[in-house]
Structure formats: structure tokens, C-alpha cells
Amino acid sequence: MALQGHSVPRRSVLGLSLGGAIATTLILPGCAKSDVADEGVSATEDLMREHGVLRRLLVICRESAAMLLANAPSFDAGALAATADLFKSFGEDYHERQLEEAHIFPAVRRTHGEAANLIDTLMAQHAQGREVTTYIKDTCASGRVPAAQVERLSQTLVGFARMYEVHAAYEDTIVFQAWKATMSASQLREVGDQFEDIEHTQFHGDGFDMAVDQVLQIEQRLGLHDLGRYSASAPAPE
Ligand SMILES: [Fe+2]
Ligand SMILES: [Fe+2]
């Protein structure tokens, strides 16, 4: 399932690039409210909310690993294939290749600081992740997970979620902050506009909104869409 949608591009609707402060309060006739509101999202917030989409996909992976071990014959492998597809189209082909690897990582490497030392590992994890999503897609292609692959797939899903949880957390707390520090406020706004253009070229619309819609559809398909199901129990009395 490739990422698809038909949202109107945020900038082209207005025919010009609006500054964030004005755009967040200005409502133009015929202009979707969310299109205007998105103009106030900074480049770093944009990257971090993209991580939010990816984290929801990781939750699906982790939950799927347990569901597979519990009852593989009834597991909807097509939904897991769709999860890998969305991780590829939104995470790998867009967020990683077009933003992090093309813009953020090269700038952070030049800082020669703590964050720069993480880049080789982050790049290696991107490569490992791509092998995993390809394996998930191939294994789930028939709509059912072959019995001989159940345990291997389950372990791979848990390892994938573990790797990307910490990967995204280090990017959020160290790498993106180091990247932001290399720019003035106006440069950050400029690069935010550039990232929006990349997003609209890639997805022909608001890729984030489309990805959120698609992740919800997968969660619903697997019965994982109720936030309350993840609430922790209080510790049992000793
Ligand atoms: Fe990354
Ligand atoms: Fe990332």
C-alpha cells in the first residue's frame, strides 16, 4: 500500500509562502483550516510528528509479534504488509532519504559534536530497517504467515521496534537539536518551507495527514485502535 491521498498542497493553495505567525491566525475563504494551521509547524516539530507516525507503526509491529505467536493462522498478515509498506513510503523513502540523509545528517556531521558521532550508527540502522521491512513484506505477501516463519517474523518485529524506538528518540533529543542549533530562526523557517515542498512533491498533498489516516486504518484492521487498551495495570499487591 503506497501512501496516497488528495489533500491540497499547503503552500500552493495560497499561491505564496506565508510566514508562520500570520498563517496560523489567517483563515482564507476556500482554504482548508488544517492547510493554514500547518504553516505554523516548524521543521523540527514536523520531523518529530513524523516520528509519531512511525512510532505508531512500531506499536503495530510489537503487538503483531505477540498476536502471531498467540494465533498465527487467524492473524491478518495483509495488515502487517501494509504496515511495512507505509514504513517504507513514509519513513524510508521520504523521512529518511529525503530529509535526514539529504539535509540533516550532512549538516550535523559538520558540527563534529556529540550528535555527529551518532550519524554512522543512524545510517546503519536505516539500512538494517530497510532489510527488515522488505522481509516483512515478502513474508506477508500471501496474506498468511507461513508456519515456518512465525517465530522468526515475531522476533524480527520486536527487534525492529526496539531499534527504531531508540533511533527516533536519539534523533529527537540529540540530532535534531544539534541540527536546529546550526541555523538562525529565519534559516529554520526557510528550510521548513523547503521540507514542505519536498513533502508535497513526494505525496501530492499533505503526506503527514495521509500517513496518520493510513496508520489508523491499519490499527482498526488489527483491532489496535483503542488507546485505552495500552493503559498499564497498577502493580499487583505484594
Ligand atoms: Fe533516522
Ligand atoms: Fe527519523
Q: Ligand 2 center to residue 238 CA distance, Å?
A: 41
Summarised one tens digit per residue, pLDDT across range 134-172 is 999 999 999 999 999 999 999 999 999 999 999 999 999
Cα 168 to middle of ligand 2, angstroms: 5
From first CA to last CA, the distance across the chain in angstroms is 48
- More confident of the two residues 165 and 29: 165
Is 155 within a domain?
A: yes
Range of the domain at 122: 44-224
Whether residue 234 is contained in a domain is answered as no
Q: Which ligand is nearest to the CA of 48?
A: 2
**Do the domain assignments include residue 17?**
no
User: Is 166 among the domain residues?
Assistant: yes
CA dist., res. 218 & res. 237, Å (int): 37
In a domain, 14, yes or no: no
Torsion, CA 60, CA 220, CA 35, CA 203, rounded to 10: 60
In a domain, 38, yes or no: no
Contact between 37 and 24 under an 8 Å Cβ cutoff? The reply is yes
pLDDT above 70: percentage of residues in the chain: 84
CA dihedral 214, 216, 222, 224 (to 10 degrees): 150
From ligand 2's centre to the CA of 48, what distance in Å? Answer: 8
Q: Read off the pLDDT of residues 75-126 as tens digits, 9 standing for 90 and up.
A: 999 999 999 999 999 999 999 999 999 999 999 999 999 999 999 999 999 9
Give the residue from 46, 45, 29, 26 showing the smallest Cα distance to 37: 26
Structural domain includes residue 63: yes
**22 pLDDT tier (thresholds 50, 70, 90):** very low
Q: Based on the structure, what is the number of domains in the chain?
A: 1
State in Å: Cα 95 to ligand 2 middle: 6
Q: Which CATH number fits the domain that encloses residue 127?
A: 1.20.120.520
pLDDT category, 39, cuts 50, 70, 90? low
Residue 110 lies in a domain: yes
